Amino acid sequence: MTRAVFLDRDGTLNVDKNYLSDPAKLELFPGTGKALKRLQDAGFKLFIVTNQSGIGRGYYTLDDMHRVNERLLAELARDGVRIEKIYFSPEAPEEPSRGRKPSPQFLFDARDEFGLDLSRSYMVGDKLLDLEPATARRWSARRRTPCATLWSSIISRS
Ligand SMILES: [Mg+2]
């Protein structure tokens, strides 16, 4: 079964500009593309899982986010990187949400859609919140830990 790496976006792949809404301001960390290419070449499928509460807060629109994501995908494609899917939560923190991190819902969605082995997959993020879906500790004590976690510094350094 396929292994995956679930990547946070802001602060992990690109500099966190606090509610990034302008594709022109997207700034990838040096080495992001090359690091992701190595993961891809090692057999991992790559996904982005991102909370975009700026939409729910009214700071920017869904279209703004899609434009930023398009630029991001284009930049990564230059290094031969393919992102299978971007999972995003547009809700503000107080709003009900199906998949907003720390919910592990998008991991299970991806598992079902792409036939992933979550027990051999990883999450990478710059905040503890990004890693909580992998432990799913807020959800069910009986649910097995879906996947392992890594800090983004590992990617930045590679
Ligand atoms: Mg982040």
pLDDT 10s digits, 73-123 = 999 999 999 999 999 999 999 999 999 998 889 999 999 999 998 888 889
Instruction: Indicate which CATH number applies to the domain containing 90.
Output: 3.40.50.1000
Structure tokens belonging to residue 131 = 């890693």
Cα dihedral 113, 70, 135, 92 in deg (nearest 10): -110
User: Prior bond to 102 cis, omega within 30?
Assistant: yes
pTM exceeds 0.85 = yes
12 CA to centre of ligand 1 in angstroms: 6
Q: How far apart are CA 2 and CA 144, in angstroms?
A: 18
126 CA to centre of ligand 1 in angstroms: 5
16 CA to centre of ligand 1 in angstroms: 7
- Lowest-confidence range among 47-51, 91-95, 124-128, 146-150? 146-150
Structural domain tally of the chain?
1
* Residues of the domain holding 36: 3-157
Q: How far apart are CA 6 and CA 35, in angstroms?
A: 14
Active-site amino acid positions = 8, 10
Q: What percent of the chain has pLDDT over 70?
A: 85
111 CA to centre of ligand 1 in angstroms: 22
122 CA to centre of ligand 1 in angstroms: 15
